[in-house]
């Protein structure tokens, strides 16, 4: 069961509504505090996606193991598509394959070339942030 979970995908999304973004090294080391009852102006999001992790290689990745121990485990989850490229496109854009135009991993309707050609680079959550 663990191997299947690891091979599928390990996605850790840590949302902290109380932490703002800062370019200062000093500010980045201090924990951000927000008075009770107030919302942060911007969320602080850490998004880590690993894929195709072989169970026999996990012992060489102590940081991934630490994330697994301290993070969330999703044992009942859904994906928009079981193929890598359409699924990643959905993660990055929030669009389903029929809206993003990325249907496979290769060929004219798949892979990064299709993602790029259809303008999906401008629709990612990274651009929105």
Per the DSSP assignment, residues forming a β-bridge with 49 are 11
Q: Give CA angle at 67 (13, 127), nearest 5°.
A: 30
Catalytic position from the list 11, 21, 83, 84: 84
Separation of alpha carbons 69 and 67, rounded Å: 5
Q: Three-state SS for 122? A: helix
Token pair of 45 as six digits: 């999001």
Tell me how far apart the alpha carbons of residues 50 and 123 are, in angstroms, rounded to a whole number: 21
- Partners of 28 in the β-ladder: none
84 is catalytic: yes
Give the catalytic positions in this structure. Answer: 84
């Amino acid at each position: 069961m663990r191997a299947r979970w690891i091979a599928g995908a390990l996605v850790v999304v840590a949302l902290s509504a109380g932490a703002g973004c800062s370019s200062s090294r000093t500010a980045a080391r201090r924990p951000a505090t927000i008075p009770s009852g107030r919302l942060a102006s911007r969320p602080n999001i850490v998004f880590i996606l690993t894929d195709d992790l072989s169970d026999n290689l996990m012992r060489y990745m102590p940081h991934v193991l630490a994330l697994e121990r301290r993070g969330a485990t999703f044992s009942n989850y859904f994906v928009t598509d079981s193929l890598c490229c359409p699924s990643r496109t959905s993660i990055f854009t929030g669009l389903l394959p029929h809206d993003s135009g990325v249907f496979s991993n290769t060929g004219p309707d798949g892979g990064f070339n299709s993602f790029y050609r259809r303008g999906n680079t401008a629709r990612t959550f990274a651009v929105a942030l």
